[in-house]
Amino acid sequence: MGSFKAICSVSLLQLFIVFCLVFQCFATRRHTDPRTTLVVDASNAIGRPIPETLFGIFFEEINHAGAGGLWAELVSNRGFEAGGPNTPSNIDPWTIIGNESSIIVETDRTSCFDRNKVALRLEVLCDSEGDNICPAEGVGVYNPGFWGMNIEQGKKYKVIFYVRSTESLNLTVSLIGQSSVGNLASSTITGNAADFSNWTKKETLLVAKATDHNSRLQFTTTTKGVIWLDQVSAMPLDTYKGHGFRTELFEMLSDLKPKFIRFPGGCFVEGEWLRNAFRWKATVGPWEERPGHFGDVWMYWTDDGLGYFEFLQLAEDLGALPIWVFNNGVSHNDEVDTSVVLPLVQEALDGIEFARGDPTSKWGSLRAAMGHPEPFDLRYVAVGNEDCGKPKYQGNYLKFYHAIRSAYPDIQIISNCDGSSRPLDHPADMYDYHVYTNANDMFSRANAFDRTSRNGPKAFVSEYAVTGKDAGTGSLLAALAEAGFLIGLEKNSDVIEMVSYAPLFVNANDRRWNPDAIVFNSFQAYGTPSYWVQLFFSESSGATLLNTSLQSNSSNSVIASAITFQSSVDKKNYIRIKVVNFGTSAVNLKISLEGLEPDSLQLSGSTRTVLTSGNVMDENSFSQPRKVAPIQSRLQNVGKDLNVTIPPRSFTSFDLLKESSNLRMNGSNSSCTRSSI
């Protein structure tokens, strides 16, 4: 009996150990391979319309986004004004060709343009004959543009400049590549002294016979005398619709299908000091007459070729609604008292008239003279940028609000003050919400608007991004956190009207801010992972949000949403399910579609798109522009239940093709669009 008891005791102990091991194994398996269920109510009767305007873009003149970027002007400091109004002054980046024995170069105030009086004076000391013979290549000046001009074989470049001379003129205008390439194109301007005794506008078309991404524009002569130059422009002819936008950068914006564009800032609107704030009236009219200004927040000069008119044109070309942000008398360091702010209020009203006024009105006629007699579709204005905490903001804001509401009652007015956690204490149609934070905090903010009051103004999340060490210069980790945040915004789109990432562009030669959505140099461009994330949401504006329920035994590392939309590409109807797995383990996901009519899903034609990479800190680059980019594959035999694996640290979209071609969008008469990503 004693021996039997011992055997039984050992057997029971072994059985207990086996049971514990099995339980531990099962528990471990559940930890590394969690199972999650997403229930989607896909019935036509259930769902909420998403605002038509939900996802758009925000453009700020930062990182040389416009000057040396989207705006295709090749010449930097084209009016010689960047050195300031006092002369002689610095002409950077213009550089002298020749030495002191052959040429003296300085600025003076002899320009024919009243708002930009500085011109360049070249006193040529050498000649084609005599004791002081000019070098064979001539003397003069050159401009390298914005870290090199991209000149491509066979393309045409229009060069315009103003010139004056005391003697007969023999001036060669050239596009010059690096030493191994040499002269890419040139033209010689000649005439007697009488022809150029007064300022004369000259235009020449240069056709490149070779390609060089680091070229320069130069003016040279071998004739003695004094020559003045001013307002020098070199533009490629192949800009988008001839409107001056660099084509490949414009197309990257267009691919996002933005419903709005907020411009021109940002801090660029405020300035460190009001004297350097963006003032729209100085940026319209003929480009030669625009004075330009120093953006003292981001510390570089802009000639304002990309001005108020061009921003409105950009919005129209993108099919997006313009949102004009104007200065309300507040900068980072000084403010206009409310008692004397009315001139700035009138400036804002004049700006609205410029955009919307009849072509016979004072400011509408200027717009018409610039080639756009039809009004622009300006429906939104923002009174300042991030100014809510400034002493004069609310008093100034109310002056602007009441004046605009009286003159243009249909225009939507956006306040800088955040109304997400408590009601605003002043009238507004929307309020601005900005967030820059680390990845974990951004992901957690998916629920930020869950408890926001459903009454009152809606939110405009006009600036968001993961920043700091989590972001690098554009990491997958940052993009995934932002994707989770955007899903939360999409699900709260009953209290959120608009959303845009910031900043949009960065010239790789002038990173004032990290990260950014689109990185470029003179001839290359790529999207960061954050750019690709935005493409996943390009069909959400105006779509129908479906009810979803996520049941998970894992941590709160998974977030999902579902929409229905009609593709503008194939005019077919889809259900799009977006899932972010922010965790480090793969997730086995069961997707259950409820409320569908029998056989309403096609067995083929559906796709899965995944954004992930081998390392969560992976980034794209000029050498690997698609290291982190969406990969699309076909889904086979789609049914009402799908069992799929969501990779760790990933963003996945399932586009399920419906049989019906007449899916009705609840609450909306317009179709939504879809692009392959």
User: Each residue of 378-406: pLDDT tens digit?
Assistant: 999 999 999 999 999 999 999 999 999 99
Of 505, 523, 542, the last residue of a domain is 542
Burial status of residue 441 (CB atoms within 10 A of its CB: 0-12, 13-18, 19 or more): middle
Structure confidence at residue 21 (pLDDT): 33
Structure confidence at residue 273 (pLDDT): 98
677 lies in some domain: no
CATH number of 188's domain? 2.60.120.260
**591: enclosing H helix or E strand:** strand 587-594
Q: What is the DSSP letter of 477?
A: H
65 lies in some domain: yes
CATH number of 456's domain? 3.20.20.80
672 lies in some domain: no
Confidence of residue 636 (pLDDT cuts 50, 70, 90): confident
Q: What's the mean pLDDT in 569-573?
A: 86
Q: What's the mean pLDDT in 207-219?
A: 97
Let me know whether 516 and 580 are in one domain. no
Let me know whether 459 and 565 are in one domain. no
Confidence of residue 643 (pLDDT cuts 50, 70, 90): very high
Structure confidence at residue 297 (pLDDT): 97
Let me know whether 200 and 287 are in one domain. no
- Is the model's pLDDT at 305 over the cut of 90? yes
- Is the model's pLDDT at 569 over the cut of 90? no
Confidence of residue 568 (pLDDT cuts 50, 70, 90): confident
CATH number of 621's domain? 2.60.40.1180
Structure confidence at residue 13 (pLDDT): 36
Let me know whether 47 and 60 are in one domain. no
Confidence of residue 599 (pLDDT cuts 50, 70, 90): confident
Let me know whether 465 and 417 are in one domain. yes
Contacting residues for 670 by C-beta, under 8 A, at least 6 apart: 52, 542
Let me know whether 162 and 287 are in one domain. no
Of 203, 236, 269, the last residue of a domain is 236
Q: What's the mean pLDDT in 552-561?
A: 85
Confidence of residue 34 (pLDDT cuts 50, 70, 90): low
pLDDT tens figures, 660-673:
544 334 443 333 33
Let me know whether 535 and 548 are in one domain. no
Structure confidence at residue 661 (pLDDT): 43
Is the bond leading into 93 cis (omega within 30 degrees of zero)? yes
Structure confidence at residue 432 (pLDDT): 98
Structure confidence at residue 674 (pLDDT): 33
What is the reported pTM?
A: 0.91
Let me know whether 480 and 538 are in one domain. yes
14 lies in some domain: no
7 lies in some domain: no
Percent with pLDDT over 90 in the chain: 86
Let me know whether 310 and 194 are in one domain. no
365 lies in some domain: yes
31 lies in some domain: no
Structure confidence at residue 660 (pLDDT): 56
Let me know whether 226 and 259 are in one domain. no
| Residues of the domain holding 571 | 36-51+544-658
Q: What Cα–Cα distance (Å) separates residue 239 from each residue in 70, 104, 158, 343, 588?
A: 10, 36, 11, 37, 48
Q: What Cα–Cα distance (Å) separates residue 544 from each residue in 490, 496, 670?
A: 10, 15, 11
Let me know whether 41 and 124 are in one domain. no
d(CA 413, CA 381): 5
Average pLDDT across the chain, whole number: 92
Of 208, 236, 264, the last residue of a domain is 236
- Is the model's pLDDT at 22 over the cut of 50? no
d(CA 369, CA 356): 14
pLDDT tens figures, 271-282:
999 999 999 999
- Is the model's pLDDT at 251 over the cut of 60? yes
- Is the model's pLDDT at 293 over the cut of 70? yes
- Is the model's pLDDT at 356 over the cut of 70? yes
Structure confidence at residue 554 (pLDDT): 64
Confidence of residue 7 (pLDDT cuts 50, 70, 90): very low
Percent with pLDDT over 70 in the chain: 92
Q: What's the mean pLDDT in 623-648?
A: 94
- Is the model's pLDDT at 333 over the cut of 70? yes
86 lies in some domain: no
Structure confidence at residue 345 (pLDDT): 98
pLDDT tens figures, 79-133:
999 999 999 999 999 999 999 999 999 999 999 999 999 999 999 999 999 999 9
Let me know whether 566 and 521 are in one domain. no
Structure confidence at residue 32 (pLDDT): 41
How many structural domains does the chain have?
3
